[in-house]
Amino acid sequence: MLKVVQAIILAAGKSKRFKTGSSKLTQTVCGQPIILYQTLLFEKMGVNVTVVVGHHKDEIQKLIGHANKQPITFVEQTEQKGTGHALACTQSFWHKEYILVCNGDVPLITQDIITQLYETHIQTNAAVSFVTAHDTNPANQYGRVVKKENTINIIEAKEITGSLEEYCCINAGIYLFNKDFLDTYIQELAPNDKSLEYYVTDLVNMASAYNLKVNTISAPFDRVRGVNTLEELWAAEHIKRSELIKNHMQNGVRFLAPQNTHVDTQVTIESGCIIGSGVQLTGSTSIGKKTVVEHFSVIHNTVIQDHVLIKSHCVVEHSTIHANVQIGPFAYLREHNIVEDHAAVGSFVELKKTTLGAHSKAKHLSYLGDATIGSNVNIGGGTITANHDGVQKHKTVIKDNAYVGANNTLVAPVCIEEESYTAAGSTITQLVPAHALAIARSRQVNKINYVSVLKEKLMFVSKKKKQEKDQNYHAAVKMYEPEKVQEP
Ligand code: UD1
Ligand code: MG
């Protein structure tokens, strides 16, 4: 198959029904852009691919360029004049015996459908073969397959007169053409009377009209449903997500609420893990054995090893979490952190570009940024690395067995050497030598008997205030007293 088939993916359309202004093909289904479902499938199958681009072409080319390893040919359709016109734009690139044409908006397609399409095409000696599916919903705007006596036609839903319920066989938008057939008939495509677009489906109708063999294979609707609207995007996402979660379940992963858990295509989870309600596992996250991710935590592009406990409401991104670590609840590991074996990150702790060594603990209300923290270190609650001087970032180094007291401000660049202590409330601006105690706060002064002196002062003040008040009152009253009348 690989030697004789080339694939043409139609991806130039305007995505008008999406109504978001963006291309539907760049939107993701379980973390993977729709267009990549096909380009990566064909790459896996070893089939050579040409993609027709137009609307949002730079974005689509960039996505494919990043994801696909094999070179892909791009052909531009400068004016979107329909699926038939998009295919015609690629004519000079046809170089294999069979041309597989796929709508780019069919992300759930699988290898077995393509293989079956090819095999039956060869067996039946057809000029054209295409995939159909059974769909009883008349609201779905698919082309309907109408078989009458010896003819087979695809008629778009909006052009069908009468009840759509009678036409439950839909065209999936995946076709295999003999190159000879296409070379002969592509010029005969004419624009549709109403839409003025050229339809790829008219090639099927033409083959049938010329009594050439047209073959169909049937696939499950959920494998070939298209994505034209946001509602259809949600449907595809829902199907893919359920499929991924079921696969993980079969491998021994327990999902406490699979209906509201999000798992992306590239995520790997080992057996014995428990994934709580509302969890999102996205990007290229991998999770080791018997790890628990509690409810509403979001893990993105992160490697988590075995026996880790991520408590509820944590966000962990672009980080590496070693075995037996405990994180959260409410922790934020922003980017490029390494948390080593048996370390603990507690509630309302934020880490950025920080390594927290084995058995070290930062359990309460801290920000640790650009810090390298050794093993068995205690970071007291409320500790902040002041890593930014207003212009650039600086590093904090805390060596093994150091003990940072509560509410410290570590002004970077700064180093706290091993087995040293810093007193609570310190602002550390200089190196703390090994085995030392650094106290960097203003000294406490106790004023003995201060309160009784204060009370006396207060009493004097309040007495004076009362006198002033009385005087003011009497003055006011006097103002309103009638003047004494002089006796005649
Ligand atoms: C198409 C089929 C319909 C089929 C359905 C299956 C036609 C006329 N209709 O309808 O019979 O049931 O797919 O999903 O083909 N595109 C271009 N250039 C264009 C127009 C479209 O490259 O000028 C691309 C789109 O980006 C898309 C694909 O072709 O990836 C299909 O276009 P779309 O508008 O989704 O066609 P449907 O209306 O779904
Ligand atoms: Mg479509």
Task: DSSP for 1-34, please give it.
Answer: -TTTEEEEEEE----GGG-SSS-GGGSEETTEEH
> By alpha-carbon position, which residue is closest to atom 35 of ligand 1?
228
Give residue 201 CA to ligand 1 midpoint distance, Å: 10
Is the model's pLDDT at 67 over the cut of 60?
Answer: yes
Record the pTM. 0.91
- Ligand 1 atom with the shortest distance to the CA of 192: 8
Pocket of ligand 1, beta carbon within 6 A: 10-13, 52, 77, 80-83, 85-86, 103-105, 142-143, 154, 156, 170-173, 199-201, 226, 228
What is the pLDDT averaged over residues 167-185?
A: 97
Active site residue 435: no
Q: Which of 51, 59, 103, 108 to mutate to test the pocket of ligand 1 (most atoms within 8 A of CB)?
A: 103
- Ligand 1 atom with the shortest distance to the CA of 170: 12
Give residue 88 CA to ligand 1 midpoint distance, Å: 14
> Would you place residue 482 in the very low, low, confident or very high pLDDT band (cuts 50, 70, 90)?
low
Ligand nearest to the CA of 15: 1
Positions of E strands within 322-369: 326-327, 332-333, 338-339, 344-347, 350-352, 355-356, 361-364, 367-369
Q: Which domains, ranges and CATH numbers included, belong to the chain?
A: 2-224 (3.90.550.10), 230-438 (2.160.10.10)
Is the model's pLDDT at 320 over the cut of 90?
Answer: yes
Q: Which of 18, 55, 63, 83 to mutate to test the pocket of ligand 1 (most atoms within 8 A of CB)?
A: 83
Provide the mean pLDDT of the chain. Answer: 96
Give residue 16 CA to ligand 1 midpoint distance, Å: 11
Least confident of 231-235, 277-281, 389-393, 481-485: 481-485
Structure confidence at residue 3 (pLDDT): 87
Is the model's pLDDT at 487 over the cut of 70?
Answer: no
Structure confidence at residue 136 (pLDDT): 86
State whether the Cα torsion 19-20-23-28 is positive or negative: negative
Give CA–CA dist 40/44, Å, rounded. 6
> Would you place residue 488 in the very low, low, confident or very high pLDDT band (cuts 50, 70, 90)?
low
> Can you read off the two tokens belonging to residue 289?
């054995």
Of all residues in the chain, what percent carry a pLDDT higher than 90?
92
pLDDT tens per residue, range 91-114: 999 999 999 999 999 999 999 999
Give CA–CA dist 100/4, Å, rounded. 10
Give residue 265 CA to ligand 1 midpoint distance, Å: 25
Structure confidence at residue 58 (pLDDT): 98
Give me the catalytic one of 238, 313, 364, 394. 364
Is the model's pLDDT at 484 over the cut of 60?
Answer: no
pLDDT tens per residue, range 445-461: 999 999 999 999 999 99
Least confident of 153-167, 270-284, 320-334, 457-471: 153-167
Give CA–CA dist 287/255, Å, rounded. 14
Give residue 393 CA to ligand 2 midpoint distance, Å: 49
Is the model's pLDDT at 1 over the cut of 90?
Answer: no
Least confident of 198-207, 376-385, 453-462: 453-462
Least confident of 221-225, 393-397, 484-488: 484-488
